[in-house]
């Protein structure tokens, strides 16, 4: 699967979940208030199957994000994959194991399983999305996901307060806002992966900084096999894949990166340097000064000695 296919699958799952959730909230009568009742309470209604379908759709669509990043060439570690797995398994358990009605005086075992499965899912998702957004996606995607993650942390704190000390005051509203922010995080990550392009462009996008694009000469490539990385010339070996450390430079702000390498000395540059050297030598020879006088004096001195020698002999 290509990164684009995985991103589209994630976006489709989000769309299905939103449509199913909206359908599960329509036409239930005056006894259902979305400001006080949670989504799990709506799952006990006549249209509870739509809410359960939304949970399953989210559980199936989330694993497409780390799979797409892997297909793009990113090095996805174990932690975000495990967190995404916890999100998916928690939603499936919450869909299969319903909670107790609001009128129940005590919580059953099924209600405890439903509560902790859903809470675990909504706690780990912001962490997983923030970790995945740092794996080569654009800076705009990373910043947007980070801001939404901060909002999720605040929302989780508010949700805990209204659940226990707050006596379920506006609990349904807080939960729906929290769910909306987390779905928005998944959407932003999916769009960022979609903009990364297919597999061919994804490998170039997520390649290492030391990799050299095709068609660009390596630094010092014209100075012999040793500088070009030829193992016969005493280079680093293996075809010279790793450039020398002195050739690595940090790109200046506001300029496009050239792969972390200095530009190679082209034949035109060497010709210009040679012409400059010849020009300086000509100027030095034509400049009147002590050097020219010294040469003339030395020549005259040698000639004077040659003419004075017969006189001395006489």
Does 99 share its domain with 172? yes
pLDDT (average), residues 65-93: 94
For residue 249, what are the contacts with CB-CB under 8 A and spacing of at least 6?
260, 261, 262
- Give the integer Cα–Cα distance in Å for 214 and 18: 44
Classify residue 215: in a domain, yes or no.
no
Closest by CA position to 58, among listed 128, 119, 11 = 11
Residue 34 near residue 52, CB atoms below 8 Å: no
Classify residue 219: in a domain, yes or no.
no
Classify residue 258: in a domain, yes or no.
no
Specify the pLDDT at position 266.
Answer: 54
How many percent of the chain have pLDDT more than 90?
45
Classify residue 33: in a domain, yes or no.
yes
Is 243 or 119 the better-scoring residue by pLDDT? 119
Does 145 share its domain with 280? no
Out of 205, 226, 251, pick the residue that ends a domain: 205
Out of 158, 176, 205, pick the residue that ends a domain: 205
Does 293 share its domain with 193? no
Confidence of residue 231 (pLDDT cuts 50, 70, 90): very low
pLDDT (average), residues 251-274: 53
pTM for this prediction = 0.63
Residue 59 near residue 17, CB atoms below 8 Å: no
For the purposes of burial, counting CB atoms within 10 Å of the CB of 60, is it exposed (0-12), middle (13-18) or buried (19 or more)? Answer: middle
Q: Please state which of the ranges 132-141, 179-188, 265-274 shows the lowest mean pLDDT.
A: 265-274
Does 167 share its domain with 292? no
Classify residue 114: in a domain, yes or no.
yes
Q: Does the pLDDT of residue 147 top 80, yes or no?
A: yes
Classify residue 225: in a domain, yes or no.
no
Does 49 share its domain with 189? yes
Closest by CA position to 133, among listed 88, 178, 85, 72 = 72
Specify the pLDDT at position 149.
Answer: 95
Q: Does the pLDDT of residue 229 top 50, yes or no?
A: no
pLDDT (average), residues 254-280: 58
Confidence of residue 304 (pLDDT cuts 50, 70, 90): very low
Domain count, the chain: 2
Out of 187, 205, 223, pick the residue that ends a domain: 205
Specify the pLDDT at position 44.
Answer: 87
Does 166 share its domain with 55? yes
**């000395």: which residue's tokens?**
265
Q: Does the pLDDT of residue 189 top 50, yes or no?
A: yes
- Give the integer Cα–Cα distance in Å for 118 and 99: 11
Tokens of 109: 């075992």
- Give the integer Cα–Cα distance in Å for 111 and 119: 12
Confidence of residue 161 (pLDDT cuts 50, 70, 90): very high
- Give the integer Cα–Cα distance in Å for 139 and 145: 10
Start-end of H helices in 164-289:
171-195, 199-205, 225-228, 267-286
Confidence of residue 85 (pLDDT cuts 50, 70, 90): very high
Classify residue 259: in a domain, yes or no.
no
Count of residues in the chain: 314
Torsion angle of C-alpha atoms 181, 185, 187, 190, degrees rounded to 10: -170
Classify residue 255: in a domain, yes or no.
no
Does 68 share its domain with 166? yes
Does 282 share its domain with 198? no
Does 62 share its domain with 155? yes
Closest by CA position to 98, among listed 43, 53, 47 = 43
pLDDT (average), residues 49-61: 95
Does 196 share its domain with 280? no
Q: Does the pLDDT of residue 271 top 70, yes or no?
A: no
Query: Rounded to an integer, what is the distance from CA 95 to the centroid of its chain?
Result: 33
Domain assignment of residue 294, given as a range: 269-307
Confidence of residue 106 (pLDDT cuts 50, 70, 90): confident
Specify the pLDDT at position 184.
Answer: 96
Is 114 or 307 the better-scoring residue by pLDDT? 114
């Amino acid at each position: 699967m290509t990164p684009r296919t995985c991103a589209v699958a994630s976006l489709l799952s989000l769309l299905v979940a939103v449509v199913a959730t909206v359908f599960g909230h329509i036409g239930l009568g005056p006894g259902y208030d979305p400001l006080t009742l949670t989504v799990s309470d709506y799952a006990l209604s006549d249209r509870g199957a739509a809410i359960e379908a939304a949970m399953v759709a989210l559980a199936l669509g989330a694993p497409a994000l780390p799979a797409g990043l892997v297909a793009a060439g990113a090095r996805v570690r174990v932690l975000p994959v495990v967190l995404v797995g916890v999100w998916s398994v928690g939603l499936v358990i919450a869909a299969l194991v319903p909670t107790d009605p609001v009128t129940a005086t005590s919580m059953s075992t099924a209600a405890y399983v439903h509560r902790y499965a859903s809470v675990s899912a909504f706690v780990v998702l912001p962490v997983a999305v923030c970790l995945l957004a740092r794996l080569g996606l654009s800076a705009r995607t990373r910043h947007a996901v980070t801001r939404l993650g901060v909002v999720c942390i605040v929302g989780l704190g508010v949700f805990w307060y209204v659940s226990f000390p707050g006596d379920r005051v506006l609990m349904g509203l807080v939960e729906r806002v929290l769910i909306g922010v987390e779905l928005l995080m998944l959407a932003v990550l999916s769009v960022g992966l979609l903009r990364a392009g297919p597999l061919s462009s994804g490998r170039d996008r997520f390649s290492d900084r030391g990799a050299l694009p095709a068609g660009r000469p390596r630094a010092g490539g014209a100075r012999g096999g040793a500088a070009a990385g030829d193992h016969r010339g005493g280079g680093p070996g293996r075809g010279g894949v790793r450039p020398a450390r002195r050739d690595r430079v940090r790109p200046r702000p506001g300029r496009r990166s050239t792969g972390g390498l200095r530009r190679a000395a082209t034949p035109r540059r060497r010709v210009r340097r040679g012409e400059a050297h010849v020009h300086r030598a000509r100027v030095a020879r034509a400049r009147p000064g002590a050097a020219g006088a010294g040469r003339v004096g030395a020549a005259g001195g040698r000639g004077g000695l040659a003419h004075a020698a017969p006189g001395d002999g006489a």
